[in-house]
Each structure stands twice: as C-alpha cells, then as structure tokens.
Amino acid sequence: MSDASPASNATKARRRHRKQMLASTLRVLLILVVAFLWLAPVAWIAATAFKAPRDVLSLDILFTPTLQNFVTAFGPNYQLGNRLMNSTIVTIGTLLICIPVSTAAAYALSRFRFPGGMAWQLGLLATQFVPAVMIIIPLYVVLRSAGMLDTPASLIIVNLSVLIPYAIWMIKGFMDALPMDMEEAAMTDGATRFRALRDVVVPVAMPGIVTATIFCFVVAWNEFFFALILSRNEAVTLPVSLMSARTDRGDAWEIMAVIGLTIMIPMMLISKLVQRHFLKGLVSGAVR
Amino acid sequence: MASVDLVDICKKFGPVVSVDKQSLSVKDGEFMVFLGPSGCGKTTTMRMIAGLVEPTEGSVLIGGQDVTYDQPRERDVAMVFQNYGLYPHMTVADNIAYPLKVRGVAKADRDRQVREVAAKVELAPLLDRRPSALSGGQRQRVALARAIVRRPKVFLMDEPLSNLDAQLRVTMRAEIKHLQNELGITTIYVTHDQIEALTLADRIVVMNKGVIQQTGTPEEIYNAPANLFVAGFIGSPAMNLIKGSLRGGTFTAPGLSLPLPGRAGATRDDVVLGVRPEDMTVAGEGAATISGPIYATEMTGDAVLVTIAVGSQRLCARGDRHFRGKINDAVALSPNLDYVHLFDGATGERI
Amino acid sequence: MNDSTLKWGLLAPAFLIAAVVLIYPIAQSFWYSLHDWNLSQSPELGPFVGFENYLRLLTADPEFWESARVSAVFSFFSVTVTITLAMALAVLLQGGSRLEVGVRSILVLAFSMSPALVGISWRFLLSPEFGAADALIKWAVPAWRNVPILADETTAMIALVLVDAWHWVPYFMLVFIGAMASLPQETIEAAQVDGARRGRIFFGIVLPQLKSVLGIAILLKTIFSIKMLEQVITMTKGGPGTSTATVPFRVYETAFRWYDFGYAAAMAYFLAFVMLILAFVYSHFVLREKR
C-alpha cells in the first residue's frame, strides 16, 4: 500500500476490471451453451409436432406449421384421445389411493413406536433397490389369471408398488420435523388423536403432502415400463403410445412429437411447482 | 375446578427413571409451581397430569377421580406449551375457539366466548391474524386465551414465559397471576426460574433427579430449605454453604468459628452451615466473627455484593450499596443468626 | 378409539397394499426362480428345479455375463459423467441471477420428461438421415461423417451414457446447489481472507464439505444406472447386436419376449442381490448422516 501512486492503482483496477469482464463473458457463454444443449432437443421435438412429414426429413429451421399431425394422432390409427384418457385415469387413480394411504401410514410411523423399530424404515428404503422387473413378473401372472391385463386398474395397482414407499418416506420426513406441541395442544384442548391428525397435523403438513403429490403425479404420468408390459390395446398410456409411432409403417416422428408434446404439456404447466416440489421431494426422499 | 393428586407416580423411559415414585396433592384453586433444574422430571410430571405421558406406575387423580389411563381430552385440563403450540393454519379467533369447537359448542356461542376471553387478555384487535403475524407476547396471550376459554378443571403451564424477553416476562408474570386469581382455577406451572416460582406460587414443589425435595409456600422454601439441594438452588446469589463441624454449640470451620444460639452444647461432626448473602452485613474488622480479605466486589445497583476469602472458602454478603472496598482489604461479615441453617453433611438434610 | 387401534389402523391400508404389490411379488419371484417355467408353453408353474436356474446363470450363460459387462460399463460411465457434469453445472449455475435461474428451469423441464420420451426423442435426434443432433455432430466433427451413431457398438454406448446424463444431470445439479447453499458461508469467507484462489476454495473448502452428499449422490446414481431400462428399450433396443443390452434389459426380454419366467426371475434375483449389497452401503450412509 505504501508506494501505490494513484496512477498505478488506477491501472491495477483497470487490469482487474478487464480480467473480470473476460471471465464473466466466458461464463455467460458457457451458460448459453448449456441452455442450448438442454433446450434445443426439447424445442426441436416441440417444433416437429407442427411439421408436415416432408419437413420432418429436411433439417431446415424454417417450415410452414400445420396442425394435421394432431388430427392424425387423434384419429383411429393412434387414438391419442383414448391414450390421454388412460394416462389421466391411471395418474389420478394412483394419486387418489397413494396420497391418503401414505399420509396415514407416514403419521403412524412418525409418531408411534412399532415392534421391529428401525426395520420399518429400512424396509421403506430397501424398496428403492428392488428391480422393477422382479415385481412385475409375479404381478403379470396374477393380473393375467384375474383377467385384468390391459386395464387401467392394473396399472394403478402396479404404480402403487413404487409410489407408496416413496410417498410415505417423503411425508414422514416432513412430519418428523413438525413440533409435537401443536397436536398435544389439540389433544388437551379436547380433540381425539384422529381429530388432531385431521384438524392440525394434516393442514400443517400440507406442504410435505403437496410435495409428495406432485412427485407421484410426475412419476405416474411418465411411467412407461409397467404400462408397456401390462397394456395391449385398451389401457395404453401416453408414454407407451410413443412406441406405436415408432413401429407403424416406419417411424412417424411427427406423431411421436405430438404425443411427446402431449406428455410434456402438463409438466410445462406445473413446471414452477415441479421445480419447487418435485426436486425437494427427491432430495428428501433420497438424502434425508 | 378440582384438586390434583399424584399417588406413587413413577415414569421410566427405558432404563432412565424420570420420576421416581412421587406423591403430591394440589388443592382446589391452588397455584402450584414445579421448580427444578432441567431434567429433574417436572415437565414429565406435568405431562402425566395432562395425559400426554402414561405413567409407568402409580395413579393420577383429578377432582378425586382416577384419570391415570384417560386420554388428554377426557381430563378437562388445559395446557399452555413452552412454544405455545398454536395452530399456524388458523386465525387467532379459530385458535381460541378450537377447544370449544371440538366440544361441539354452537358457533354463535363460540364467537361470544372468544370475544370475551380476547378482551380479557387484550387480543380483541388481533382476532383475524395468523399466529405468524404476532409478536412473542401476543402469541403467549393467544395460548393463554385458548386455555382459559373453556374454564377447565386444571391449568397446566409448561415454562410459558421462557421464550419471552426479560421485560415482557415480568409483565406477563403479573398478568398470569392476576388471571389465575380472578378465575380461581387450579394451576400447575412448571419453571426452572426461581423468581417466577417465588412470585407466582401459593406453594412450590422443588424437584431434583425425579424426586420431590420439598413442598411448601415460597416463605417456607426460602426461609427453611429442607435440604442442601433446595438451599443451594433457591436464592440469588446462592446461599453460602460452609463445611465444618459443631463443637459445643459453636460451628467451626477452617478460618472461622461461630457460636450458634439455640444449639447450646450440641456436638456433631460433618455439618454444613448455610447463610444467605442477604442475611449477612459487612462490618469493620473485629466487629464480627467471620473475617478475611476482599476477593471481589460487584455493584448490582441496589446493593454491593462483597465476596471474601475465608480459608479455601469464598463467602458472599449483600452489602450496603454505598460500600466501597478494594480487593484484599480486610473486612468482616456478620450473619443474622436467626437465619442461619444447618445441614447434615452426609445426607444433606436440614438439622 | 385408543392409540394402539389408531396406530395399526393408520398403517394397515399402506401395509396391505404393500403386501399385495411388493411383499408378495418379491417372495413369489423367488419361488418362480426355483422352477423351470416358460409361460408360452404352460400357464401352470413348471417343474421344481431347485437352484438350477442360478447354476445356469453362473456357469452356462455367457450372454448373461456379456450383459453384466455392458451394465457395468454403462453404470460406471453414466455415474462418472453425470456426477462430474452435475457438479460442474452446479458451480456454473448456483447463482440467483435471472439467467441462471432461467437456465435451471430449462434443465428441470428436461428432467421431468418421461424417460421413454427422452429415449425416443434422442433416437429421433440421432437418426442418421434426418436427426438434427446427428447433423450437428457431423458438421462439428467431420471425421465422424460416416459413423452411424446408434448402429455402431461404441458410439451407441456413448450415446446411451450421454443421453442418460442429459436426463439426470439436472437433478443432481440441484442436489449439489442445495447442498452448497447450506454450507456455512464463513468457511468460504475465511478462505478468501486467507488468500486462497477460487479454484483452491472449491477443491480445498467446498468439495470436502460436500463429501457426504457426494457419496450419497454417487450411490443413488449407481442404483439408478443399474436399474435403468426405459432408454435401452426406447433408444437402442439393446443393439446393435447386444452391445447395449444391460442386465435389466435381458431380464425384460427373457420374461416378456421369450416368456422364460423361471430363468428371468433368477436373473432378477441376481440383480437384486447386487443392489442389496449397494443398499447396505447406501443405508449405512443415510443412517450415519442421521446420527
């Protein structure tokens, strides 16, 4: 500091400033590359949904948009309307069973001691390591002999095997962090334990329950493997119907893009929520 | 309104004994304070009365009825929690109304009672707020209002003031005392703060390590502590405790000997003499029986605390606020012999 | 209603469902694995053969070991690439500027895509005649002009790894950003005051504090990679040849293409056994974190 003249200080500041400029320009460029790598594929698929088949084959950026693909997709060959309905039924059905059942179990596991202690928690964790193929083989046999193959109900049942443990783990993590004194207050105020659960615990745990719901929504909506095995014609969901675009008379990529866009639209609509909750859920489910 | 009786109550958490076979009676309308250091079992005892913890042994009686295995809601008690336990998703009015709602009180009735109670604890303008929009003192009032709105048989308060700042604590303390007096409801109050205990209580229960040490009025507890624990725990600064022996009615310890009136001729080894700082005055040298150099002086505003070294002991006296002495000046302390306590050195019991 | 009724009552629905859709299939799969049973030949369970399926698996099925090798290669590279890229992007995008937040939400959108959609989309983007990504790669690296990406054993595997990374990097990036945000700021400031440079701060101060999160992330991603199946089905169909046929894909084909349920169940159990070992390591990590 002692011999720093104003002039040399100014040069130093300028040099430093230039270095910072360079670094931050580089950083912004890098970020834009990243943005391109993740956005361009999605954008290209979305654009393809509006291209005439011959435009799909050319790689031009510019094209005349058409809605013909949507007409075709909803037509008898692809039955997109039916697929959309199936996906909706399966997803909503899964959530309607999964969330209340998991909330109740999460509360029980969070607040009561059970014989076996930690075994219950370890069991919940262990389900994450069971390969899907192991579950589906016997369930396929059972559902086949029950005549339930190719029904939305069978897909709901199978989805629960993945989602209930996840949802319990997530909601339980949230409930564990809630202080006990609120429900104790409710109980001394005269509520039964069940009423305290309904009036106090569930409303207060709502953010955790919403997180689990969104997580389960995303997983159920996107589920592919179980539906691929269990559905043929009637109960085909959107992700499985992607395969039909692939095999029918060569690859109908523009139809695939329409289906893909249909799968993505709900995700885009709730993307804010997904960002906030889905990832939080995964983190709490996995790391907590 | 009701009495509360604990009979041989015992609570174990695994191998840890939290409350060890204690019995206690709280009279109808009494303000009873459970006082003790953290982990002494006072909160567990209160939670057993509330029904939030089931006793391992013994029974709990409220109004003469055995409620040991009743659910909290069946006991008609109200509790104020340390962190208030307010329902964050409900407004202040809904919070206060909740105990009435679960009991099926009609809406119009509920609203009227809530307004009445809110007026009593000065919450009327805040009824539509959520707890998160309230200050600590206001939350405390909501918790109180929720407890008193249904006139329970017993109030239970678990360190209700510990989250408030010092000034607010004094105000709320007076408010609680006033309310209890006005409502006349049996109240059990848990605290580790002796000032709170002494100011609020009709009677105090001092607990340590799961065992009741003494039950008595604040005067009894303060003026006649039953054992060394109570003697050391109550009073600030703490009572001076000097190990020594009794020889022909005179207490002797290294560096001091003190003839005790009323103990003429008594001889006993291994005793502890206790005298409160406020029961000793600072005198010039030679005027009294305990003397030594000044170790420290502390100005507290209304007094000067004078600590002197006697042998290896340090004794503290509450001196006149105009006392000025330098470290190592020799002074003497003269105890008020009417308030000198003797304890058995082995058992700690008062002699 | 007392507490005991309530606690079992609340748990019962979840437990009953789990018994039907988890416990029963897990047990039954094991029972199948002890039988020689091809569903296309008989709807009834075939003859009991003891551990013969396992013996065949361990000693007489080179194709299975080929798939194990494919799985190992895929898992190793997908874990390495995903975690490294995720950490790099976490450092790049951890800030709160509008650009960073915006780009983060683009990445999240990619992650919330159905795995099947990811696979099919990239198959489209990488197809030789009209794939946009294929064209871009060949424009950028003319030497690869004649490589059919998904029809060449090496490049198909590379594509599978990179597409899997494309799908998972956003998630792990957010995990790392979250972990970094919760680090005590003082340690970094202290290092700055002590004169450390930015790279040095990252490798010397930040990364060591992320050790446990990083460990868990690596284990999690390993599990996900071993289980990964959708993109093999939708993107490469295990090909060319069997070069991208992972173990789960082989189990899937054995069960639902050849209907050899007994043998498929044995393979699934072998896979589960490997995962169980990982599960132990994982729960060890998670439980130690809790203490």
CATH class name, domain B240-344: mainly beta
Task: Return the residue of A nearest to C169 by Cα.
Answer: A38
Burial class (CB in 10 A: 0-12, 13-18, 19+), C170: buried
Rounded CA gap, C24 and A135, in Å? 9
Nearest to A278 among C6, C112, C229 (CB): C112
Report which residue type is found at C127.
S
Domain extent listing, chain A:
6-68, 77-287
Rounded CA gap, C205 and C187, in Å? 7
Interchain contact, A225 vs C3, CB within 8 Å: no
Rounded CA gap, C290 and B242, in Å? 47
Rounded CA gap, A194 and B288, in Å? 69
Taking CB atoms and an 8 Å cutoff, what residues of chain A touch C133? 41
Q: Please indicate if any CB of chain C lies within 8 Å of the CB of A27.
A: yes
Closest CA to B49 of B153, B140, B185: B153
Query: Is residue C241 within 8 Å of residue C153, measured between CB atoms?
Result: yes
Interchain contact, A185 vs B103, CB within 8 Å: no
Rounded CA gap, A5 and A14, in Å? 14
Pairing status of strand B186-191 against strand B154-158: parallel
pLDDT confidence of residue A101: 95
Looking at CA atoms only, how far is residue A145 from chain C in angstroms? 9
Give residue-wise pLDDT tens across range C211-220.
878 888 888 8
Query: Is residue B150 within 8 Å of residue B99, measured between CB atoms?
Result: yes
Looking at CA atoms only, how far is residue B77 from chain A in angstroms? 6
| Residue count (chain C) | 291
Query: Is residue A175 within 8 Å of residue A201, measured between CB atoms?
Result: yes
ipTM value for the complex? 0.85
Domain extent listing, chain B:
4-233, 240-344
Rounded CA gap, A213 and A192, in Å? 27
Nearest to A190 among B83, B84, B99 (CB): B99
3-state secondary structure of A33: helix
Nearest to B99 among A189, A193, A200 (CB): A189
Taking CB atoms and an 8 Å cutoff, what residues of chain B touch A188? 50-52, 72-73, 75, 77-79, 156
The angle subtended at Cα A110 by Cα A109 and Cα A115, nearest 5°, is 40
Chains in touch with B (≥3 Cβ pairs < 8 A): A
Mean pLDDT of C197-223: 81
Strands of B268-275's sheet, edge to edge? B256-259, B250-253, B240-247, B268-275, B340-344
Looking at CA atoms only, how far is residue B136 from chain A in angstroms? 16
Which positions 138-167 of C are in contact with A (Cβ < 8 Å)?
166
Q: Please indicate if any CB of chain A lies within 8 Å of the CB of B163.
A: no
Closest CA to B51 of B65, B37, B63, B68: B68
Looking at CA atoms only, how far is residue A5 from chain C in angstroms? 24
Give residue-wise pLDDT tens across range C19-64.
988 899 999 888 988 888 887 777 777 778 878 888 888 888 888 8
Q: Which residues in C121-136 are b (16+ Cβ under 10 Å) and which e? A: bbbbbbbeebbbbbbe
pLDDT confidence of residue A99: 95
H-helix or E-strand containing A156?
A: helix A152-176
Give residue-wise pLDDT tens across range C229-250.
888 998 888 778 788 889 999 9
Bond before C240 cis per omega within 30 degrees: yes
Taking CB atoms and an 8 Å cutoff, what residues of chain B touch A112? none
Residue with tokens 């996107």: A222
Rounded CA gap, C254 and C38, in Å? 10
Instruction: Answer yes or no: is pLDDT of C165 > 90.
Output: yes
Rounded CA gap, B232 and B213, in Å? 12
Tell me the CA end-to-end span of chain A in Å, nearest whole number.
50
Instruction: Answer yes or no: is pLDDT of C182 > 80.
Output: no
Number of Cβ atoms within 10 Å of the Cβ of C191? 18
User: For the packed helices C3-18 and A80-111, what is the interaxial angle rounded to 10 degrees?
Assistant: 140
Interchain contact, C286 vs A157, CB within 8 Å: no
Number of Cβ atoms within 10 Å of the Cβ of A44? 18
Tokens of C91: 């450092």
Q: Which residues in B98-114 are b (16+ Cβ under 10 Å) and which e? A: bbbbbeebeeeebeebb
pLDDT confidence of residue A1: 45
Query: Is residue B130 within 8 Å of residue B181, measured between CB atoms?
Result: no
Give residue-wise pLDDT tens across range C271-284.
888 887 876 776 67
Q: What percent of chain C has pLDDT over 70?
A: 96
Number of Cβ atoms within 10 Å of the Cβ of C258? 13
Which residues of chain A, if any, have pLDDT below 50?
Answer: 1-2, 283-288
Please report, for residues A154, A282, C180, C247, the alpha-carbon distance to residue C94 in angstroms, rounded to integers and kept in the order given: 42, 19, 8, 36
Q: Is the dihedral of CA B309, B311, B313, B319 positive or negative?
A: negative
Give residue-wise pLDDT tens across range C94-137.
877 888 888 888 888 888 888 999 998 898 888 887 788 888 88
3-state secondary structure of C97: coil
Interchain contact, C106 vs A275, CB within 8 Å: no
3-state secondary structure of C281: helix
Residue of B48, B53, B79 to mutate, testing the A interface (most A Cβ within 10 Å of its Cβ)? B79
Looking at CA atoms only, how far is residue A91 from chain C in angstroms? 13
Closest CA to A19 of C90, C197, C193, C87: C197
pLDDT confidence of residue B285: 57
Rounded CA gap, B19 and B40, in Å? 8
Taking CB atoms and an 8 Å cutoff, what residues of chain B touch A182? 85-88
Tokens of A255: 């139809």
Which string of DSSP letters, residue by residue, matches B177-215? HHHHHHH--EEEEEES-HHHHHHH-SEEEEEETTEEEEE
Taking CB atoms and an 8 Å cutoff, what residues of chain A touch B75? 188
What CATH number labels B4-233? 3.40.50.300
Q: Please indicate if any CB of chain A lies within 8 Å of the CB of C238.
A: no
Pairing status of strand B211-216 against strand B290-299: unpaired
pLDDT confidence of residue B31: 94
Residue with tokens 């060949």: C138
3-state secondary structure of B349: strand
Taking CB atoms and an 8 Å cutoff, what residues of chain A touch B83? 179, 181
Domain extent listing, chain C:
63-290
What CATH number labels A77-287? 1.10.3720.10
Rounded CA gap, A165 and A145, in Å? 26
Query: Is residue A149 within 8 Å of residue A84, measured between CB atoms?
Result: no
Rounded CA gap, B216 and B200, in Å? 13
Looking at CA atoms only, how far is residue B144 from chain A in angstroms? 12
3-state secondary structure of B211: strand
Which positions 1-40 of C are in contact with A (Cβ < 8 Å)?
1, 3, 6-8, 10-11, 13-15, 17-18, 20-22, 24-26, 28-29, 32, 39
Q: Which DSSP category does B256 fall into?
A: E
Interchain contact, A132 vs C269, CB within 8 Å: no
Please report, for residues A14, B343, C84, C93, the alpha-carbon distance to residue C173 in angstroms, rounded to integers and kept in the order given: 35, 67, 10, 9
3-state secondary structure of B236: coil
Interchain contact, A164 vs C213, CB within 8 Å: no
Query: Is residue C151 within 8 Å of residue C240, measured between CB atoms?
Result: yes
H-helix or E-strand containing B253?
A: strand B250-253
Interchain contact, B78 vs A204, CB within 8 Å: no
Interchain contact, C108 vs A271, CB within 8 Å: yes
Interchain contact, B71 vs A184, CB within 8 Å: no
Mean pLDDT of C145-161: 85
Q: Which value, in Å, is the radius of gyration of the alpha carbons in chain C?
A: 23
Residues of A with CB under 8 A from a CB of B: 179, 181-182, 184-193, 195, 199-200, 203-204, 206
Please report which residue ranges of chain C form alpha helices under DSSP H: 3-18, 24-33, 52-59, 62-93, 98-111, 115-125, 132-140, 153-181, 185-193, 198-201, 207-209, 211-227, 230-231, 247-256, 261-290
Rounded CA gap, B190 and B32, in Å? 9
Query: Is residue A64 within 8 Å of residue A55, measured between CB atoms?
Result: yes
Query: Is residue C47 within 8 Å of residue C273, measured between CB atoms?
Result: no
Q: Please indicate if any CB of chain C lies within 8 Å of the CB of A109.
A: yes
Instruction: Answer yes or no: is pLDDT of C205 > 80.
Output: no
Which residues of chain B, if any, have pLDDT below 50?
Answer: none
pLDDT confidence of residue C1: 52
Say how many CA atoms lie within 13 Å of B219 toward its Cβ.
1
Chains in touch with C (≥3 Cβ pairs < 8 A): A
User: For the packed helices A152-176 and A118-126, what is the interaxial angle rounded to 10 degrees?
Assistant: 130
H-helix or E-strand containing B332?
A: strand B330-335
Interchain contact, A193 vs C3, CB within 8 Å: yes
Residue with tokens 């047990």: C27
CATH class name, domain C63-290: mainly alpha
Q: Please indicate if any CB of chain A lies within 8 Å of the CB of B86.
A: yes
